[in-house]
Amino acid sequence: MTRTVEATRTVELHGHRGARGLLPENTLPGFAHALDLGVDAVELDVGLSADGVVVLGHDQVLSPVTLTDTGPAHPGDPAFPYVGKAVRDLTLAQLRTLDAGVRRPGDAFAVTQRAVPGTPIPTLAEVCALVAPSGADLAVELKTDPSWPDAEVARFVAAVADVLHGAGLAARSRLLAFDWRVLARTPASWAGSRSPNARPSSPAARGSRDTPPATPSPRRSPRARPPCRPSTRSPPPASWTTPTPPGCPSPCGR
């Protein structure tokens, strides 16, 4: 007698920077749209403001591609204009004046993105409040720099962990980084806060990367997803390459 065992694999659908191809990246409208589409997780990028608030943004230096100055946070602010300044050098009040809802004309994503003028840079806490009722996971990438001292990286990691714990989303979150110090400084309490079937966020807690969870996550039932629609766009020419984002050393688009 032969018994056939079927292995079931689940592919997670992530909303990269929310719904980057459709709405402004790393914004509340973008995340809301990704959730409406039925993603399993939303991926986002965060930085730390000068006054210690975790805010969203892919670039450590405010990019003119995704952000536009609207005015100073207070009359005569010597730091204005803010575009081109480092996130870590500006306060939340200063960052809030920027319009994150209109991409620079001529950029590749501006062709497919629907502009949402007047959209501010959100905080991680605001994103947590939006995502919490949905049951979706969070994939939070911490943007750091090799030149930063260890103490600054540790402060950043602690601030992110505090927001996720405070929102009750630690068990549905994972921390991402290209800086090993972020993983090394993830609080020891993080692993204990996660549900048994959640994916650990640090190498120590994760163990072998080839070891799958014992059982599928029971957090939520599968959501119906809209069928894929054939693309109506013309195929790119053979010589087409992915445009390199400003400040990125390679055309990774991460």
The predicted model gives 201-230 an average pLDDT of 38
Whole-number Cα distances in Å, 244 to 22, 247, 254? 19, 8, 10
What is the residue type of 225? Answer: R
3-state secondary structure the chain: CCCCCCCCCCCCCEEECCCCCCCCCCCHHHHHHHHHHCCCEEEEEEEECCCCCEEECCCCECCCCCCECCCCCCCCCCCCCCCCCEHHHCCHHHHCCCECCCCCCCCHHHHCCCCCCCCCCCEHHHHHHHHHHHCCEEEEEECCCCCCCHHHHHHHHHHHHHHHHHCCCHHHEEEECCCHHHHHCCCCHHHHHCCCCCCCCCHHHHCCCCCCCCCCCCCCCCCCCCCCCCCCCCCCCCCCCCCCCCCCCCCCCC
**Which sequence spans correspond to the domains of the chain?**
14-196
Average pLDDT over the chain, rounded to an integer? 80
Please tell me whether the overall predicted TM-score, pTM, comes out greater than 0.85 for this model.
no
Closest CA to 138 of 40, 204, 222, 221: 40
Looking at residue 195, its pLDDT comes to: 41
Query: What pLDDT is attached to residue 191?
Result: 52
pLDDT of 188 > 80? The answer is no
CATH class, 14-196 region:
alpha beta
The CA-based angle 108-109-110, given to 5 degrees, is: 90
Percent of the chain with pLDDT over 90: 67
Least confident window among 11-25, 57-71, 159-173, 209-223: 209-223
pLDDT of residue 4: 65
User: What pLDDT score was predicted for residue 249?
Assistant: 43
For residue 198, pLDDT beyond 90: no
Task: Find the range with the poorest average confidence among 145-154, 204-213, 214-223.
Answer: 204-213
